[in-house]
Amino acid sequence: MLNQQNNGPEQSPTDEEVGYCKPPMCRRFKVCGNPKGRPPGSKNRKTIVREVANEMHSVRENGKWQWRSMLDLVLLRLRNMALECKNTRAFDEIHRLAKAYEPQVADGVGGYLVVPATATEEEAIAESKKRNAMKKPPPGYGIN
């Protein structure tokens, strides 16, 4: 390391090495950023949205009180708005949600199933006996 005053090598033997993963002593272990961090028990946006969406409310449907989540209520309201045919944005959103969450259908391109050659009945029985002989039950299993 060069000294700023005389552009020669530093003479102090007390300085430690400076380099990769070894910053100068004056910059080591400084507290920066958010020293306390997030307080325990605080919630991020994903948790808050999940809590609000799963919040239960009692509503009257067909003369009976039922408990529904907030997400259920919002989706039912969106469906009703789309069915009124006055709100095309609601219909577009319902269509987008239905398309996004409908079961996936295979497009006809699939893999191949490799099946071993067919065996006669005697060969299949001999093979199953051979496999069963290799499998040993755990000690005390099925023995009184």
- Amino acid 47: pLDDT: 92
- pLDDT above 90 coverage of the chain, percent: 28
Under a CB-based contact definition with an 8 Å cutoff, are residues 71 and 54 in contact? yes
Is this model's pTM higher than 0.75 or not? Answer: no
> Could you report the per-residue pLDDT of 116-144, keeping only the tens digit for each?
777 788 888 888 888 777 766 666 666 55
- Amino acid 143: pLDDT: 58
Structure tokens at 134: 């290799």
**Domain limits of the chain?**
49-101
Mean pLDDT of 29-49: 83
- Amino acid 67: pLDDT: 94
Task: Report the interhelical angle of 45-53 vs 70-83 (nearest 10°).
Answer: 70
- Amino acid 109: pLDDT: 67
The DSSP 8-state label assigned to residue 72 in this structure reads H
Under a CB-based contact definition with an 8 Å cutoff, are residues 69 and 54 in contact? yes
- Amino acid 13: pLDDT: 46
Instruction: Categorize the per-residue pLDDT at 68 as very low, low, confident or very high, splitting at 50, 70 and 90.
Output: very high
> Could you report the per-residue pLDDT of 70-84, keeping only the tens digit for each?
999 999 999 999 988
Tokens 């029985």 map to which residue?
Answer: 125
- Amino acid 131: pLDDT: 79
